[in-house]
Amino acid sequence: MSSCTHSNRWSRILDSLRLPLVQAPMAGGATPPALVAAVSEAGGLGSLAGALLSPDRLEADVAAIRSRTPAPFAVNLFILPSVPEVDNQAVEAALRHLAPLHVALGLPPPAVPSRWCEDFAAQFETVLRLAPPVASFTFGVLTPAQVHLLHEADCCVVGTATSLEEGEAWVAAGADAVCAQGVEAGGHRGGFLGEDANLGTLALARLLVQRLPVPVIAAGGIMDGAGMAAALALNASACQLGTAFLRCPECGIAPAWKAALATADASSTRLTRAFSGRWARGLKNDYMRRMAPVQADLPAYPVMNALTGALRAEATRQGNTACMSLWAGQGVALGRALPVAELVATLAEELATAGQALAGGGKGRLNRVLSD
Ligand SMILES: Cc1cc2nc3c(=O)[nH]c(=O)nc-3n(C[C@H](O)[C@H](O)[C@H](O)COP(=O)(O)O)c2cc1C
Q: Kindly state if the Cβ of 26 falls inside 6 Å of ligand 1.
A: yes
Could you tell me if 23 and 152 lie in one domain? yes
Substitution candidate for ligand 1 out of 58, 139, 157, 243 with most atoms within 8 A of CB:
243
Q: Kindly state if the Cβ of 184 falls inside 6 Å of ligand 1.
A: yes
Looking at residues 271-286, what average pLDDT do you find? 97
3-state class (DSSP) for residue 265: coil
Tell me, yes or no, whether 1 lies in a domain: no
Could you tell me if 282 and 349 lie in one domain? no
Q: Which residues pair with 161 in a beta bridge?
A: 180
Minimum-distance ligand 1 atom for the alpha carbon of 253: 1
Which residue puts its alpha carbon closest to atom 21 of ligand 1?
Answer: 242
* Cα 320 to middle of ligand 1, angstroms: 22
Could you tell me if 181 and 248 lie in one domain? yes
Cβ(105)–Cβ(318) below 8 Å: yes
Which residue puts its alpha carbon closest to atom 6 of ligand 1?
Answer: 26
Substitution candidate for ligand 1 out of 120, 134, 138, 189 with most atoms within 8 A of CB:
138
- The pLDDT assigned to 357 comes to 85
Q: Kindly state if the Cβ of 49 falls inside 6 Å of ligand 1.
A: yes
Strand order in the sheet with 187-188: 187-188, 280-283, 269-272
Q: Kindly state if the Cβ of 24 falls inside 6 Å of ligand 1.
A: yes
pLDDT surpasses 60 at 205: yes
Tell me, yes or no, whether 4 lies in a domain: no
Could you tell me if 109 and 126 lie in one domain? no
Residue-wise DSSP of 273-292 = STTTSS-EEEE--HHHHHHG
Substitution candidate for ligand 1 out of 178, 188, 258, 271 with most atoms within 8 A of CB:
188
pLDDT surpasses 70 at 172: yes
- The pLDDT assigned to 85 comes to 87
Q: Specify burial of residue 369 (Cβ count, 10 A radius: 0-12, 13-18, 19+).
A: exposed
pLDDT surpasses 80 at 361: no
Which residue puts its alpha carbon closest to atom 10 of ligand 1?
Answer: 25
pTM of the model: 0.96
Rounded Cα–Cα distance for residues 278 and 281 (Å): 10
Substitution candidate for ligand 1 out of 26, 137, 247 with most atoms within 8 A of CB:
26
Minimum-distance ligand 1 atom for the alpha carbon of 137: 11
- The 10s digit of each residue's pLDDT in 64-99 is 999 999 999 999 999 998 888 899 999 999 999 999
Residue partners of 170: CB distance under 8 A and separation at least 6: 141, 159, 160, 161, 178, 214
- The pLDDT assigned to 363 comes to 61
pLDDT surpasses 60 at 138: yes
Tell me, yes or no, whether 176 lies in a domain: yes
Q: How far is CA 40 from CA 11, 36, 190, 335, in A?
A: 16, 6, 24, 20
Band of residue 30 on the pLDDT scale cut at 50, 70, 90: very high
Rounded Cα–Cα distance for residues 74 and 365 (Å): 36
Rounded Cα–Cα distance for residues 113 and 120 (Å): 18
Rounded Cα–Cα distance for residues 96 and 100 (Å): 8
Could you tell me if 201 and 219 lie in one domain? yes
- The pLDDT assigned to 1 comes to 42
Looking at residues 155-170, what average pLDDT do you find? 98
Cα 195–chain centre separation: 17
Tell me, yes or no, whether 100 lies in a domain: yes
Could you tell me if 150 and 197 lie in one domain? yes
Tell me, yes or no, whether 258 lies in a domain: no
Rounded Cα–Cα distance for residues 36 and 25 (Å): 9
In the chain, the number of structural domains is 2
Could you tell me if 247 and 296 lie in one domain? no
Looking at residues 192-197, what average pLDDT do you find? 81
Q: Report the helix count and the strand count for the chain, using DSSP H and E.
A: 15, 11
Cβ(44)–Cβ(23) below 8 Å: yes
Tell me, yes or no, whether 262 lies in a domain: no
* Cα 24 to middle of ligand 1, angstroms: 6
- The 10s digit of each residue's pLDDT in 224-248 is 999 999 999 999 999 999 999 999 9
pLDDT surpasses 60 at 2: no
Tell me, yes or no, whether 354 lies in a domain: yes
**What mean pLDDT value characterizes the chain?**
94
Looking at residues 197-225, what average pLDDT do you find? 97
Return the CATH number at 21: 3.20.20.70
Helices marked H in the chain — which ranges? 6-16, 33-42, 55-68, 88-104, 120-130, 144-152, 164-173, 201-211, 225-233, 255-263, 286-291, 303-307, 309-318, 340-359, 365-371
Q: Specify burial of residue 352 (Cβ count, 10 A radius: 0-12, 13-18, 19+).
A: middle
Up-side HSE of residue 203: CA atoms within 13 Å toward CB? 10
Tell me, yes or no, whether 298 lies in a domain: yes
Could you tell me if 55 and 140 lie in one domain? yes
Could you tell me if 71 and 133 lie in one domain? yes
Rounded Cα–Cα distance for residues 206 and 194 (Å): 21
Q: Which residues pair with 22 in a beta bridge?
A: 45, 240
- The 10s digit of each residue's pLDDT in 95-117 is 999 999 999 999 999 999 989 99
In percent, the amount of the chain with pLDDT more than 70 equals 94
H/E stretch holding 188 reads strand 187-188
- The pLDDT assigned to 370 comes to 62
In percent, the amount of the chain with pLDDT more than 90 equals 90
Could you tell me if 179 and 69 lie in one domain? yes
Give 250's DSSP letter. Answer: T
Could you tell me if 170 and 240 lie in one domain? yes
Q: Kindly state if the Cβ of 201 falls inside 6 Å of ligand 1.
A: no
Which domain does 92 fall in, by range? 85-116+272-324
